[in-house]
Amino acid sequence: DGGITQSPKYLFRKEGQNVTLSCEQNLNHDAMYWYRQDPGQGLRLIYYSQIVNDFQKGDIAEGYSVSREKKESFPLTVTSAQKNPTAFYLCASSTMIRGKLFFGSGTQLSVL
Amino acid sequence: GIQVEQSPPDLILQEGANSTLRCNFSDSVNNLQWFHQNPWGQLINLFYIPSGTKQNGRLSATTVATERYSLLYISSSQTTDSGVYFCAAEETSGSRLTFGEGTQLTVNP
């Protein structure tokens, strides 16, 4: 079945630690996105990528980094510079920028 | 950037009732989408509807782009319709979707 797979489902970060969230899609979509959701709020865009080896900052990119070495994969690293990382992280993809958006099941990141 | 406002913020219904959710946006759009987030966090795309009307089963949506609003209609609601409904819009000159803060819908049996 085609879809977007995010792992892990739950992740805990210690002080000063970098952690990486995985996102893989087999929909053959060109565009991929990372969103952050805080309790009771909407989604905010962290980074997006339209093609391999290219990505752009979203509205809240500080403290995060991404890579797009393969079309299918768009991992997000939450660095130690992100002082308030506790949130629900959602990966999404679309056939192209401005296309219909499809989401993975999310990763809940918490700080120990 | 574009502002996206959803109303009402919360809605409680009895099973079988109908409801209308509203999304206002502050600028001309070329991309508007409605999503449902279930209690486990999964987001499902309901409609891609920058203009016009679409229907999918008990759900339908209408976007009046010239008046900068979109409506999501839910008929004969079921308990499985519970969750948060998000509207997201992208302005014509923009490059990313902006999400509203959502409508929390609770359907009681």
Tell me: pLDDT of A2 over 80: no
| Long-range own/partner contacts, residues A15-19 (CB < 8 A, 24 or more apart) | A15/A80, A15/A111, A15/A112, A16/A80, A17/A80, A18/A77, A18/A78, A18/A79, A18/A80, A19/A77, A19/A78, A19/A85, A19/A109
Provide the shortest C-alpha distance from residue B109 to chain A (in Å). Answer: 24
Inter-chain residue contact A102 with B101, CB threshold 8 Å? no
Query: Which carries the bigger pLDDT value, residue B92 or residue B75?
Result: B75
Inter-chain residue contact B33 with A41, CB threshold 8 Å? no
Q: Say yes or no: A43 contacts chain B, CB-CB below 8 A.
A: yes
Between CA B5 and CA B88 the distance in angstroms is 10
Encode pLDDT of A59-85 as tens digits.
Answer: 999 999 999 999 999 999 999 999 899
Q: Give the per-residue pLDDT at A70.
A: 97
Nearest CA in chain A to B1: A59
3-state secondary structure of A3: coil
Burial class (CB in 10 A: 0-12, 13-18, 19+), B80: exposed
Q: In terms of DSSP bridges, do strands A102-103 and A87-94 run parallel, antiparallel, or are they unpaired?
A: antiparallel
Per-residue pLDDT band at A45 (split at 50, 70, 90): very high
Contact in structure between B106 and B12 (CB atoms under 8 Å)? yes
Inter-chain residue contact B41 with A105, CB threshold 8 Å? yes
Q: Give the per-residue pLDDT at A20.
A: 97
Per-residue pLDDT band at A96 (split at 50, 70, 90): confident
Of the residues A98, A100, A102, the best mutation for testing chain B's interface (the one with the most B CB atoms within 10 Å of its CB) is A98
Q: Say yes or no: B92 contacts chain A, CB-CB below 8 A.
A: no
Tell me: pLDDT of A1 over 70: no
Q: Give the per-residue pLDDT at A79.
A: 95
